[in-house]
Every structure is written in structure tokens, then in C-alpha cells.
Structure 1
Amino acid sequence: MSLRDMHCSFSPAALSAQDIASLLAELDGWTVNGELLERRFALRDYHETIAFVNALAWMTHQQDHHPELAVTYNSCTVSYSTHSAGGKLTNNDFICAAKADALYAQRAGA
């Protein structure tokens, strides 16, 4: 089953460095920055950026796993870690990252 087809779980365990490297290889454009899984999404303009943020907000609410967002006129940087795992990376972070990628690929005019 692909990451984007999975659902977040309650109380996930922190991942090992080996698990993080393996899951990171399944994602495009994501990096690990300290203890954050991050990606900057480039968008055409403010309207497209806010539409993406709104779609992302809906998805993350459904998964009950919310990222940190840095929103500018034509980009959105998404940062994941899992608070319930002490700020470490878990499967939930990678699941939501894959779902964010799917939303980005589906945006109008992509």
C-alpha cells in the first residue's frame, strides 16, 4: 500500500534513522531538516497558494495530523513532526507528506 493510501494512527512510534531514510526515498522534494520533514511547494500566485493551503487544511484535519505552514504569495512550506512522539518523525508525517504531494499534483492547471 502506498503512503498516500494509508491513514494516520493515534500514538505512532518515532522512526529510526533507517526507517526515515527508507520512507524519504518514497517522496519527491521532501527533506529532513533537523527533526522536521519539509517541502516547499511553488505555486503560481496568492490565489493558488491559498487554495492549496485550504485543501491541505482539509486533508490534515481528516488525518488529525497538522503541519506547520509558512505561506507566502506564491509558495507554501510544509513542515511535519509528531508532537505526541516528542517532536520526532513518525509514519504519520510521511503519510501526510505523500497526501500533500497528491494535492499539489491535482491543483487546477497543474
Structure 2
Amino acid sequence: MNNLFELHTMKCVACEGGVPPIPRDELRHYLEKIPGWQLSEDYAMISKNFMFKGFYKTISFVNVVAWIANQEGHHPLLEVGVNHCLVKYTTNAISALTSNDFICAAKIEQIAQRDAI
């Protein structure tokens, strides 16, 4: 994967366990493709806090994230406040990171950059 464009055009693959996680030494390479996202200390989750000017814009963003999650069949953990939404991804079936997490993050990031969120 050479850039964000490639990640955000990919589709998630159904994961029911048994899928190997992304090796730790490759995680930084993936993380570089999604600006501003953070890797958890245990290497099992990525997250980013998005800030907004008002609750309506926050909820509009949440709806976009929900649409992406539904389309991809891969769902994040969301923490929603009046002016922010913290998005967290992990592959729950294996409690680790897979390409699905980065694909969804890249799709969100593309929309955030396009709409100057």
C-alpha cells in the first residue's frame, strides 16, 4: 500500500477470528497513511478525536461514520460529545489490528479532509 488513496478505496474483508493481526513492525507503516490517528500502547487499537463547531455537526459526522461502518461491516467504538467524536478501531474478533481498521480509518480521514473537518 503506497498511499491513503489506496487504503480508502479498499473493501473490508469479513473477520470471524483466525485472521492474523498486522505485525507490530508494520503498524507504523499503516499509521503513516492516516494522519492524526494514534496507536494504543498495547498495539491493539487506533483512534482519533475529531473536533466540531456544535452538536449538529458532530452528529452529522457520527452518521457518516455509521454509514461507512455499515457499508464495510466493520464497526468502531465511538465516544460522542457536544463538540467532538472520538473514533476507535480494533478488530474485535481477534482483539488486534487488521487492515480493516486502517481501511475504515482511511475512509473517514478522506471525508474529513475533503470536508475540512
Structure 2 length normalisation: TM-score? 0.86
- Give a deviation string over 1:19-48, Cα, whole Å, max 9, x none: 211100111000111321000011111000
1:106 is matched by which residue type in structure 2? R
Q: 2:21 aligns with which of 14, 19, 28?
A: 14
Counterpart-to-counterpart distance in 2, 1:13 and 1:75: 32
Superposed displacement of residue 2, structure 1: 1.1
Query: 1:81–1:87: 8 Å Cα contact kept in structure 2?
Result: yes
Counterpart-to-counterpart distance in 1, 2:95 and 2:111: 25
Superposed displacement of residue 14, structure 1: 0.7
Counterpart-to-counterpart distance in 1, 2:67 and 2:74: 11
Q: 2:34 aligns with which of 24, 27, 38?
A: 27
Q: Name 1:74's counterpart in structure 2.
A: 83
Aligned sequence identity (%): 32
Runs (4+) off by over 4 Å: none
Query: 1:56–1:103: 8 Å Cα contact kept in structure 2?
Result: no
Structure 1 length normalisation: TM-score? 0.91
Partner SS for 2:88: strand
> Once superposed, what is the RMSD of the aligned Cα atoms?
1.5
Partner SS for 1:77: strand
2:110 is matched by which residue type in structure 1? A
Structure 2: unaligned runs, 5 residues or longer: none
2:108 is matched by which residue type in structure 1? A
Q: Name 2:114's counterpart in structure 1.
A: 106
